[in-house]
Amino acid sequence: MQNKDSKPISSGATPAEVMEDLRPLVNFQEEGISAEKLKQMLEERLLPHLMNYNHPGFLSMFNNFLEEGAKIGAELALEYNQGVTDWYVSPGGAMLEELCIKALCSLFKLEPGSDGTFMYSGTYANQEALYLAIHWKAEQEGFDFAQEGLKGFENPENLIVLTSADAHFSIKHAVRMLGLGDKNLLTLEVDVNRRIDILKMQKTVDKLLENYDIFCIIATTGTTSTGSIDNVLEISKICRRIGVWLHVDGAYGLAYSLVPEYRERFYGIEFADSVSWDPHKQFGTPIPNSILFVRRKEDFNRMALRSDYIYRESEDVPSPGLKSPPSTRPFSALPLVTSIRYQGITKIHERLRSPIRAIDTIYESLKTDTEIELCNKPETGILCFQVKNNQIPDIQINQYLKLVHEEVISGGEHSISFTKLGDKAVLRLVAIAPTTPETLMKTITYVKEKARVIANGGMLY
């Protein structure tokens, strides 16, 4: 299924070494150079320093190698360099984007009136969702946010966005971009498996409502650190009870809701007002490839800016650019369409199942491993763990794991990541592409070996 190759994951070069290699590329000169010379230069100087996401040991991030079907569409989109601003810029491009979005709404079992828009990345999808949420809040208060801005609210300082303590930092960006501050973003406690603690959330929400104006609650279906899935159904009930916009950040995890046996974990997404998704993560479509869905297609009317040269009021033609800000827009729908058509839904399910099953399998077998402390019960292909060693006092564990991480990635054959769950440092194994438990175990074994060398060699002191 997967065309893994044997080039190392990375060159392992230092920033100074990479800079030295790349500098000639930006030595801009009056005269150009031949295509052969240019290609040779790129091959020698740049390619060794690009990451090989196709390597079986690449288990650290959400990046993926290009899926074969996606490549067919990506090459065409490049060849024709299509923008999909509207019908007049590319009739085929604009129409395919619209059709693709409708087909995806149905694939994800969203409500019949739902709609979506391609975005540059999950970060921008979250940003637009928060704009729609605050606009909607303003409408409840009887004014047009597009006209009045924040000053239309009686007490803008009381406006609150609520999300998980483990939410992605793009939410903070989105709040700031609205002209609000970090104090307008409050985080909710998570339970043992790092999902929003629903009981505590009920109490927190009721308490906050005494003094604040919550205008958006954000659930995450697949958190960045542990892949945990918030209970969207319960959160949607709270949102309905208090009349608050529900956004679901599914940038990482939403893809897994397509697999029949995992669908239950995502119940409630159909009640969300907006949902973000990043096909460029599991689907292997070219970066950037992200989507923001909304439950009511009219919600996008809040984004529409008409002009005299495009998006004229009188014309009823497909206009993707009326739903999100970029005017010149990449033809992101094409590689996604070709990828889905090429693989077929059955193969896509297999592609998505494979990493989850592999991670679940090693989770079970590592339960009895005395050198490993498991730090989450995986829901979507991410496993966080600590390596334990009697010689390492608890107080030094963060420093120890940081060193282990650096040692592991410097070898170029295995790549895991380092992160923190609260104050606790952990190593994180991410399986985003099809893989096997054996492949994942090789990396775990390598990590343990490196950890032993560090502990026994006294490298910490």
The closest of 251, 236, 238 to 128, measured between CA atoms, is: 251
**Does residue 168 bind ligand PLP (CB under 6 A)?**
yes
Query: Please, which residue, 129 or 397, has the CB nearer to ligand PLP?
Result: 129
Considering only the stretches 52-60, 118-126, 257-265, 368-376, report the one whose residues sit in contact with ligand PLP under the rule CB under 6 A: 118-126
Q: Which residues pair with 417 in a beta bridge?
A: 428
Q: Is there a cis peptide before residue 156, judged by omega within 30 degrees of 0? A: no
In the complex, the smallest distance separating the C-beta of residue 287 from ligand PLP, rounded to whole angstroms, is 8
Q: Tell me the closest approach of the beta carbon of residue 123 to ligand PLP, in angstroms.
A: 3
Q: Least distance from C-beta 273 to ligand PLP, angstroms?
A: 17
Of 134 and 167, nearer to ligand PLP (C-beta) is 167
CA gap 431, 58 in Å, rounded: 8
Nearer to ligand PLP, 218 or 425 (CB): 218
> Using the rule CB under 6 A, is 285 a contact of ligand PLP?
no
Size of interface with ligand PLP, in residues (CB under 6 A): 14
- 3-state secondary structure string across 116-140: EEEECCHHHHHHHHHHHHHHHHHHH
Run of H or E residues at 17: helix 15-22
Nearer to ligand PLP, 336 or 454 (CB): 336
> Is there binding between residue 73 and ligand PLP (CB under 6 A)?
no
Shortest Å distance, C-beta 290 to ligand PLP: 5
Q: Minimum distance from CB of 174 to ligand PLP (Å)?
A: 10
Among candidates 135, 246, 145, 160, which has minimal Cα distance to 210? 160
Binding flag, residue 88, ligand PLP (CB under 6 A): no
Asked if 249 interacts with ligand PLP (CB under 6 A), we say yes
Q: Which residues, 6 or more positions from 337, have their beta carbon under 8 angstroms from its beta carbon?
A: 73, 96, 100
Contact flag: residue 251 with ligand PLP (CB under 6 A): yes
Q: Where are the beta strands (DSSP E) in 110-241?
A: 115-119, 159-164, 185-188, 213-220
Q: Is 187 in the site for ligand PLP (CB under 6 A)?
A: no
Q: Does 128 bind ligand PLP (CB under 6 A)?
A: no
Task: State yes or no: residue 123 binds ligand PLP (CB under 6 A).
Answer: yes
Site membership for ligand PLP, residue 252 (CB under 6 A)? yes
Distance CA 154, CA 448 (A): 57
Binding to ligand PLP by CB under 6 A, coded x per residue (else -) over 287-326, reads ---x------------------------------------
Distance CA 388, CA 408 (A): 16
Dist. CA 429–CA 381, nearest whole Å: 8
Which C-beta is closer to ligand PLP: that of 118 or that of 311?
118
* Interstrand relation of 159-164 and 213-220 (parallel, antiparallel or unpaired): parallel
Give the Cα separation of 3 and 354 in Å (integer): 14
Residues 6+ apart with CB under 8 A from 359: 378, 381, 382, 383, 429, 431, 440
Residue nearest to ligand PLP (CB): 122
274 binds ligand PLP (CB under 6 A): no
Instruction: Name the one range near ligand PLP by CB under 6 A: 63-71, 148-156, 244-252, 364-372.
Output: 244-252
Min dist CB 220 to ligand PLP, Å, is 5
- When asked if residue 62 is in the footprint of ligand PLP (CB under 6 A), the reply is yes
Q: What whole-number distance in Å separates Cα of residue 435 and Cα of residue 355?
A: 6
Residue 164 lies near ligand PLP (rule: CB under 6 A):
no
Instruction: Tell the smallest beta-carbon distance from residue 226 to ligand PLP (Å).
Output: 11
- Per CB under 6 A, does 224 bind ligand PLP? yes
Which residue carries 């650019």 as its tokens?
321
Q: Report the C-alpha gap between 415 and 428 in whole angstroms.
A: 10
Q: Which is closer to ligand PLP, CB of 251 or CB of 397?
A: 251
Residue 253 CB, nearest distance to ligand PLP (Å)?
7
Residue 309: phi, psi to the nearest 5?
-100, -25
In the shown chain, the binding pattern of residues 349 to 388 toward ligand PLP, with x for contact by CB under 6 A and - for none, equals ----------------------------------------
| Pairing, β 274-277 against β 245-250 | parallel
| Spatial contact of 426 and 350, defined as CB atoms under 8 Å apart | no
Q: At closest approach, how far in Å is the CB of 120 from ligand PLP?
A: 8
Q: Nearest approach, Cβ of 427 to ligand PLP (angstroms)?
A: 18
Q: Which of 54, 170, 285, 443 forms a contact with ligand PLP (CB under 6 A)?
A: 170
Distances (CA, A) of 385 to 343, 365, 397: 34, 13, 12
Cβ closest to ligand PLP, residue 167 vs residue 397: 167
Reduced DSSP (H G I as helix, E B as strand, rest coil) percent helix, strand, coil of the chain, to 5 = 45, 15, 40
Distance CA(171)–CA(199), nearest Å, equals 23
Sole binder of ligand PLP in the list 2, 11, 63, 121 (CB under 6 A) = 121
User: What residues line the site for ligand PLP (CB under 6 A)?
Assistant: 62, 121-123, 126, 168, 170, 220, 224, 249, 251-252, 278, 290
